[in-house]
Structure 1
Amino acid sequence: MKKIISSLIVASVFFSNLNAQSDSKKEEQLYRPNFHFSPKKGWMNDPNGLYYKDGVYHLFFQHYPDGNKWGPMHWGHVTSKDLVKWEEQPIALYPDDLGYIFSGSAVVDKNNTSSFGDSKNNPVVAVYTYHNPNREKDGKIDVESQGIAYSLDNSKTWTKYSANPVLKNPGIRDFRDPKVFWDSKRQQWIMVLAAQDRTHFYASKNLKEWAFQSEFGKDLGGHGGVWECPDLFPLKVEGTNEEKWVLIVNINPGGPNNGSAGQYFVGDFDGKTFKIDEHFTKQLQKEKAAWLDWGKDNYASVSFDNVPQGKRVIIGWMSNWEYAQEVPTEAWRSSTTMAREVSLKKTKDGYILKNIPVAGLKNYQGKSIRKKINLKAENKLVSPSEIDLTKAVLDLNLKKMTAGTYSFSLKNSLGEEVVFGIDNKTKELFVDRSKSGKTDFGKNYSTPVTKAPLNQIYSEAKIKLVIDKTSIEIFFNDGEKVLTEIFFPNENFSELTLSTDTKGSSLNIDAHQLDIK
């Protein structure tokens, strides 16, 4: 009898493991993105240490390789030659006696100010937050400090600075995510650091010794949660020679549609102090906060250092802390957004930080369709036989619009759908994923409907869609408003339709399947 019971237990374990492997393979096939980066295994969140050198873009990321939920943080590492196709590399930075390796940045030290390099090698220096779990466990406040590491072989190997930390904690619990850049005008390094619900600015000549300069953010912008992952960079205003500085600050919670999100400020920086522009002050009085992305799933967006031609490219973590650790994947969790080029537009109402997909995406265009449709109440736009909507870019141009609703639906044969579009009467964009498949996980995943306000009723509108297996990135009017959302259907979406309660409108479609392997 014992042998029978033992055999039954062994058989049960065997079939349980087979089922687990089967579920994992199903998840891998159904939910692994086609072209957005996701780690081979384990957990990921914030992008870190973004830089370009010798023809290669480097992206590091918060990583726990031994589990699919947040854990002791490492820096994972991927590389790309075009910001579209990514190749995972060995883990770059591991936790040590000073703590976990939290978020930060990396810079190409062209002048060897750090003295880590030599005449032949410009060192790459990573600046990151140490999070000491032992001090946190003991109830201490000063659990976070800033450390550095350097590489002389394009990030294949790293050496941590022996005198870490280079910036000790001043008595602030949330004191993290250093973004460092070279201030060429004043010949100094600047560090922007998140300090609870504001930013601190520090300056250094050698990346090792840092002096406090100022703080920014008290009573300005969104304050529904802790500030994280700041970034500061100059941009020319479109169509002018005027230069403004943009400060991105991510916040969790407190986003425009709940949970985590990114906000931005526009102003001037003199090497010590960041002050918002008067025109932007009026904008904040009206809007309270300016949001980089109105969707639920773009957090911790930061920019690359040393990008050619002075372009400013950002990339974010495509998830939300409300449900990131409960999404229905097992082998891995999370992916990045599409890399996006940002630009600054001045309007009568303030400034808009536009962001659009990087141009390199066009190099992967394959099978395509173009058509013009005079809209009826119900319209079939893209069928399964035309292009593969699990890897596609679509440019949609609505014309002769009237005050009504234009609802696009991404569908599959199971009746699941993601609904998005323009309510041209209430003046807002929207995304509804309440019927998108698996929705019963995390907090506030499927409700409420995501919305982004518009300042007018449009007679014409352009929408660019970047669609992967489990995500949609919606860029309205050249990136003036953006919504990023993830979803988990039980079958791939394969059809796009449009319903409307308006009459007389038309739609031009220019759609491309992406051939990315």
Structure 2
Amino acid sequence: MKRSDPAARFHHAVRHHGLAACLLLIILSPARAQDAPTPQWRPALHFSPTEHWMNDPNGPFLLDGTYHLFYQYNPAGTVWGPMSWGHATSTDLLHWHEQGVAIPSTPAEDIFSGAMVYDGSNRSGLGSASAPPLLAFHTSVFHGNPAHPDGTQAQSLSYSLDRGAHWQSYAHNPILTLQPDSRQFRDPSVVWYPQGQCWLMTTVVADAQLVKLYRSTDLLHWSFLSDFQPSGYRKPGMLWEMPLLVPLPLDGNPHDTRWVMIVSVNPWSIAGGSGVQYFVGRFDGTRFIPDALPPEGADPSAYDWLDHGADQYAPIRFANTGTRPPLLIAWMNNWDYADTLPTAPWRGQMTLPVQLALKTVDGRPALVQAPAPQYDDLVRRQGIAAFADRDVGPGQTWRAPLGGPVLDIRVTLRRGDAAHAGIVVRQTPDGRTGTVISYDFLSGNLTLDRSRSGQVGFSPRFSLAHIAHLPTPGGTVSLHLVIDRNSVELFANGGALRMTDLVFPPPGSDGVSLFSDGGHTRFTEIRISAPAR
């Protein structure tokens, strides 16, 4: 949960003018909630609230065939404000139904980010065999509490005995605090550790760029294990948030389990502003030990990033999915410009849920990501158009006869003598507007360029191009693009590299074309589908 600069100003105003007055200003602000609706940018494949501000996903889980998604929500405006947990449900991870505010903020307590556990064995004792509790671990931010200075952050618990329909606060909150109190202690995530027959919690001291690990057998009482604070890529003012510890078999081998520590960083990410870094290593029951890290002062590109675009932050794992591969969902946005996005009456959306695997890539373990299987099922049901291979030379383009605001595109680039080649999506008929994905065969760099994607001037911090190195043995690059009305999600070379970027194109920007510069490129395995709600 990030306190952006506007958020800090909001809390300053609350202290001096009172909560009610500040809420009224947010509700009446003509530059925010009363902007004209922008339906052409309402995502079709990605969850967004009907109205108002949303950021981090919180506590997603699966129960009785229904996926539950909670999220940081300001039900009173389209900028960050007093944080509650919003709630939505889905049976397929693609069609979501809002359920209202699940855990509301109060003048005495904001409800920041956290995670969920289905306590099916009633280890906490808060439920019963017939009504096992759902436990929502979240950060409380206290105001006017005699036991904690204003702004103190601590970990608390809310629980539900009716499968998420209603929630009540645990009587002995907070369940975990620091001594002395901290204003930066937040974002609990909880995972079961079978070898130790206990639960593990990861939290952060955000401004110290420090992950703290705890253990519990009853989910109520937590014992400190260790701190994780590796040397390496850290900058003044950088915050670490939303830590996530995930065990994964390397290359599918159940006898070679590695652990991955995922942390969201803001600012100074690989694409500017906020982003997501990860570390691969091992967990010995007490400490997370990362594999060898780049030397101190190494370029950010030497580290592992979950996404090389600008618009993925605060990923979290769906709980209670059994032995299925881990599913992640994240906030599709960037704190550099989140409160200035030109959408109304909502502001904020989620990424597609993705399935995680750990594979050996270029000789070392790396996370590989792919859209959840439910998305592939939708694409198949809608039908896939296959096109013949195409040779494209300098000055030539091939415009796909199938277009639309929501597309799934898969294509392989096979180098001939071209310097670089690629694809343009969300393109206007005159070709002046479009988002360009290109691969440079000489440098091995993949670029997503949104400088001519539509509206880009709403913030000077809206970065225009994102570049990542992508080795291509044999000169072959495979691209999988998920195009929504206001976003491009790119999975390259089977998900070994991911880029996620928001775009705000004008109406009619539905075209797709292929291009090659400095020589010829052969485009093969061209598949286009139009998945829709």
For the Cα contact (< 8 Å) 2:33–2:78, is it kept in 1?
no
- Give how far 1:23 is off: 6.1
Equivalent residue number for residue 200 of structure 1: 212
- Give how far 1:153 is off: 1.5
Question: Is 2:294 the partner of 1:290?
Answer: no
- Give how far 1:321 is off: 0.3
- Give how far 1:206 is off: 1.5
- Give how far 1:347 is off: 3.7
Equivalent position SS for 2:374: helix
Question: Is 2:385 the partner of 1:382?
Answer: no
Equivalent residue number for residue 24 of structure 2: none
- Give how far 1:309 is off: 3.1
Equivalent residue number for residue 398 of structure 1: 413
Equivalent position SS for 1:335: coil
Residue identity opposite 1:424 in structure 2: F
Q: CA, structure 1 residues 290+204, in 2 after alignment: closer, same or farther (shift >3 Å)?
A: same
Q: Structure 1 stretches of 5 or more lacking a match?
A: 1-16
For the Cα contact (< 8 Å) 1:402–1:459, is it kept in 2?
no
Residue identity opposite 2:92 in structure 1: D
Per-residue CA deviations over 1:187-224 (Å, capped at 9, x if unaligned) read: 11111001120200011121211111100024244546
Q: Which structure 2 residues correspond to residues 273-284 of structure 1 after superposition, within 5 A?
A: 273-278=287-292
Q: 1:433 aligns with which of 450, 453, 464?
A: 450
Q: 2:86 aligns with which of 72, 76, 79?
A: 76
For the Cα contact (< 8 Å) 1:179–1:229, is it kept in 2?
yes
Q: CA, structure 1 residues 492+194, in 2 after alignment: closer, same or farther (shift >3 Å)?
A: farther
Equivalent position SS for 2:40: helix
Q: Structure 2 stretches of 5 or more lacking a match?
A: 1-28
Equivalent residue number for residue 134 of structure 2: 124
Q: 2:274 aligns with which of 240, 260, 272?
A: 260
Q: CA, structure 1 residues 115+97, in 2 after alignment: closer, same or farther (shift >3 Å)?
A: farther
Per-residue CA deviations over 1:215-258 (Å, capped at 9, x if unaligned) read: 00242445461000010011001143311011100001011011
Q: CA, structure 1 residues 221+288, in 2 after alignment: closer, same or farther (shift >3 Å)?
A: farther
Question: Is 2:262 the partner of 1:248?
Answer: yes
Distance of 2:125 and 2:30 partners within structure 1? 54
Q: 2:350 aligns with which of 336, 347, 362?
A: 336
Equivalent position SS for 2:226: strand
For the Cα contact (< 8 Å) 1:356–1:478, is it kept in 2?
yes
Q: Which structure 2 residues correspond to residues 117-266 of structure 1 after superposition, within 5 A?
A: 117-133=127-143, 143-171=152-180, 172-196=182-206, 197-223=209-235, 225-241=238-254, 242-266=256-280
For the Cα contact (< 8 Å) 1:421–1:431, is it kept in 2?
yes
Question: Is 2:318 the partner of 1:304?
Answer: yes
Distance of 1:195 and 1:150 partners within structure 2? 25
Equivalent residue number for residue 59 of structure 1: 69
Equivalent residue number for residue 423 of structure 2: 408
Distance of 1:498 and 1:189 partners within structure 2? 50
Distance of 1:118 and 1:440 partners within structure 2? 55
- Give how far 1:405 is off: 1.1
Equivalent residue number for residue 345 of structure 1: 359
Residue identity opposite 2:137 in structure 1: V
Equivalent residue number for residue 11 of structure 1: none
Question: Is 2:474 the partner of 1:464?
Answer: no
For the Cα contact (< 8 Å) 2:294–2:303, is it kept in 1?
no
Distance of 1:36 and 1:283 partners within structure 2? 38
For the Cα contact (< 8 Å) 1:409–1:420, is it kept in 2?
yes
Q: 1:319 aligns with which of 297, 319, 333?
A: 333
Distance of 2:384 and 2:204 partners within structure 1? 44
For the Cα contact (< 8 Å) 1:282–1:350, is it kept in 2?
no
Question: Is 2:26 the partner of 1:44?
Answer: no
Per-residue CA deviations over 1:297-343 (Å, capped at 9, x if unaligned) read: 00001111111433100011000000010010121001000000010
Distance of 2:496 and 2:35 partners within structure 1? 40
Equivalent residue number for residue 507 of structure 1: 523
Question: Is 2:440 the partner of 1:423?
Answer: yes
Q: CA, structure 1 residues 223+273, in 2 after alignment: closer, same or farther (shift >3 Å)?
A: farther
Equivalent residue number for residue 5 of structure 1: none
Distance of 2:244 and 2:470 partners within structure 1? 26
Q: CA, structure 1 residues 54+21, in 2 after alignment: closer, same or farther (shift >3 Å)?
A: closer
Residue identity opposite 1:316 in structure 2: A
- Give how far 1:18 is off: 13
- Give how far 1:401 is off: 4.6
- Give how far 1:363 is off: 2.5
Distance of 2:274 and 2:358 partners within structure 1? 23
Q: CA, structure 1 residues 21+285, in 2 after alignment: closer, same or farther (shift >3 Å)?
A: closer
Question: Is 2:499 the partner of 1:483?
Answer: yes
For the Cα contact (< 8 Å) 1:143–1:169, is it kept in 2?
no
Matched length: 490
Equivalent position SS for 2:509: coil
Residue identity opposite 1:103 in structure 2: S
Distance of 1:398 and 1:273 partners within structure 2? 43
- Give how far 1:443 is off: 3.8
Distance of 2:32 and 2:153 partners within structure 1? 38
Per-residue CA deviations over 1:245-300 (Å, capped at 9, x if unaligned) read: 1110000101101100001111111222110134x668997854210000000000
| TM, length-normalised to structure 2 | 0.87
Distance of 1:327 and 1:156 partners within structure 2? 32
For the Cα contact (< 8 Å) 2:356–2:369, is it kept in 1?
yes
For the Cα contact (< 8 Å) 2:491–2:499, is it kept in 1?
yes
Distance of 1:165 and 1:259 partners within structure 2? 32
Equivalent position SS for 2:530: strand
- Runs of 4+ aligned residues of structure 1 deviating over 3 Å after TM superposition are 17-23, 139-142, 220-224, 280-288, 400-403, 455-458
Equivalent residue number for residue 377 of structure 2: 363
Deviating more after overlay: 338-347 vs 433-442: 433-442
Distance of 1:413 and 1:115 partners within structure 2? 62
Equivalent position SS for 2:323: helix
For the Cα contact (< 8 Å) 1:424–1:457, is it kept in 2?
no
Distance of 1:195 and 1:97 partners within structure 2? 24
Q: For the aligned residues, what is the CA RMSD?
A: 2.6
Equivalent position SS for 2:456: coil
- Give how far 1:124 is off: 0.9
Distance of 2:227 and 2:33 partners within structure 1? 51
For the Cα contact (< 8 Å) 2:310–2:463, is it kept in 1?
no
